[in-house]
Structure 1
């Protein structure tokens, strides 16, 4: 009986192989379930042997009844295990009711004859346990035990034999309930796995989009600034223009390398290198830049996050601020703080208003327990300019 219920459980959660649609895989699983359930009908072999040997009378009802009982039993069991919906449908109740009536009729009619006819109640217990959820399945098993005791007592069976049959019935029903529970857990685990896989894909897509924005936004802004410098120098200082053009080529090559690293996921930023690059880019844009740092070493988990803040902030200052000066200050009063302040035209103080760039920075800082603040000095402090402030704790989350 173990093989019956275990295999039946396996067919309840069909997962189609590559190139097979779910409906086709479900039908294939149901057919396999019927096949393996049929194999475990072997306890009925003595019943058929008694019929063939002429020990059962009247034989016609016994043969017709068994031939109807077996496919009906298979249909109910496979239906119970194969339907992910735990609530039986009206046709399920009808099939189980017909199976019960037929099984009890055969057990009552032939229980006193050879062939173990009272054992049909075990199949009734298994069918109900496969179909009904708890606690209804428990009540069904109790009813089947009562029917078994009544049939056995009616036909004069010894109480020890009735007890053995009742024990086998309860164990079979309990096994079905356990396997159904395992089936449900397997379904939930597979559903959770699929959800986690989709979430991982979504997170990777967001990471990729964020990295490309941060990488290409900065690189293209610097290329635009340096191209303007080349255009201004082309006539009066060709040598200087050539040097700037060489820088543009190098920036393009670096951007290609960074994009490849972003695709593979092995991309990190070095804070010190970004400070140098941001200062050079701001200077090329004609923005006087002051950098203030602390003697303390920036923790590794913040080096990458703050490097991205510097890159995005420098890009925004070059592209949007119209500033003449910019101050980049790293300090550590109680928490690490990185502040980029310019004297430009300012902007909205809502990070969401700045598009993907500042949203991406807020997400990066949140991953290390930090936060991002933007302050529009032209509206909130009566001055001019814009402040981008990143804060983060000393210890990694």
Structure 2
């Protein structure tokens, strides 16, 4: 998919480049003057001058087409072509520059070809400067009027510098377009990653809760059918809620409320016989902390339900003017935490909010999850 897009963009760029090269032929009208002198018999030998002038024009268009149409030509070969083109232009100017109809104008095309062909601006300026120096040297060598030589030198300077500016602008525009395409591709990848992470966080917790409650139903069904039916109804409610949340995740419009998650995990932990202690400060959570802590609470309690075999879980939220801190501590089996998809995705969420996640075993048994999010002045009240 990405390669097809790149090939399509390349074809469009090449087609646009060839149109520019075709339009560039209009600039060759200045060569009509020496061509007319050849036709009038003012230049001898006429055959050599004609072949040289035609070769010069075709050589110029070929060299311009390489950068403009983005042709696959090695830089070394292109630079060698520029050197040969410059020798041809200087040779024609030296041989015929003393005659009528000013062949010095050919060096203007030499300056322009180098200006559009060199990627490094310093090399382009050096090339233009060399072309201007050649104009002055040949004009003085042939004893041409100082005014004519100065005029041609000025035209060469203007043509070279304007071509340099145009080429630099075109390259910057192309680089900007390339950057925009890369940013768009990266944005798509990030959105896919966010969607995968959201689905894992949503379904991982919910399915774990469904499994736990299903085990409760299986255990108490023979002795307490009414309680088992109530638990089964709760499983149905959880399933419907999960379906709604998945639909919201697909559309990309959902809001994770820390308060709602806190009520949910209290119920889930109590249903499996884990004692829950919750401590909160009165300071409100900002919008970043409210969203991130909702996911942290969901992931942390999911791990308690799955792996801890704990009997007690403590949840504490501390918020002040500088930061908000969520801690989840249990008295389970502890051990070294394994950074799976859930913890990795949670770490990414907290990093996006400017915070951090730390998970470590507690001395004496159990695990401690700590999530920190710095205070944002634009945060809103959530509780």
Q: Which residue of 2 aligns with 1:339?
A: 327
Shift of 1:129: 2.4
Aligned to 1:322: 309
Q: How many residues align?
A: 374
Distance (Å, rounded) in 1 between the aligned partners of 2:163 and 2:295: 57
Corresponding residue for residue 99 of structure 1? 85
Alpha-carbon separation, structure 2, partners of 1:213 and 1:17: 31
TM-superposed deviation, 1:81:
4.3
- Higher mean alpha-carbon deviation, 151-160 vs 212-221, is at 151-160
Which residue does the alignment assign to 1:124? 110
Question: Match of 1:373, SS?
Answer: strand
- The CA distance in 2 between the partners of 1:368 and 1:217, in whole Å, is 22
Q: Is the 8 A contact 1:88 1:131 kept in 2?
A: no
Query: Retained in 1: the 8 A contact 2:17–2:68?
Result: no
**Unaligned stretches of 5+ in structure 1?**
1-15
Aligned to 1:273: 260
| Partner SS for 1:41 | helix
- Distance (Å, rounded) in 2 between the aligned partners of 1:29 and 1:332: 59
| Counterpart in the other structure of 1:139 | 126
How much does 1:275 deviate? Answer: 0.9
Matched, 1:393 2:374: yes
State yes or no: 1:225 paired with 2:212: yes
- Match of 2:302, SS state, is helix
**Pair 1:80–1:214, CA change in 2 (3 A):** closer
8 Å CA contact 2:17–2:69 kept in 1: the answer is: yes
Would you say 1:369 and 2:354 are equivalent positions?
Answer: yes
Matched, 1:384 2:371: no
CA shift, 1:317, in A, is: 1.0
Q: Is the 8 A contact 2:135 2:153 kept in 1?
A: yes
1:320-354 CA-to-partner distances (Å, cap 9, x unmatched) read 11111222222346742222222211131x5xx24
Larger mean Cα displacement after TM superposition, 138-147 or 207-216: 138-147
Please list, as runs of the form range in 1=range in 2, the aligned pairs for 1:6-85 lying within 5 A after superposition.
Answer: 21=8, 24-25=11-12, 28-82=15-69
Kept after mapping to 1: 8 A contact 2:93/2:138:
yes
Q: Is residue 2:158 matched to residue 1:171?
A: yes
Secondary structure, aligned partner of 2:316: strand
Following superposition, the deviation at residue 117 of structure 1 comes to: 1.8
Query: RMSD over aligned Cα, in angstroms?
Result: 2.8
SS at match of 2:371: strand
SS at match of 2:25: helix
Report the Cα distance in structure 2 between the residues aligned to 1:375 and 1:19, rounded to whole angstroms. Answer: 46
More off after superposition, 114-123 vs 362-371 = 362-371
Q: TM-score, normalised by structure 2?
A: 0.87
- 1:170 to 1:87, Cα distance in 2 relative to 1, 3 A: farther
Instruction: Report the secondary structure of 1:389's partner residue.
Output: strand
For residues 154 and 342 of structure 1, do their structure 2 counterparts lie closer, same or farther at Cα, with a shift above 3 Å needed? Answer: closer
352, 357, 365: which one pairs with 2:342? 357
Deviation at 1:87, TM superposition (A): 8.3
Structure 1 CA distance for aligned equivalents of residues 289 and 9 of structure 2: 47
Q: Deviations over 1:239-267 (max 9, x none)?
A: 33333222222211211221222233222
CA contact (8 A) 1:335 1:393 kept: yes
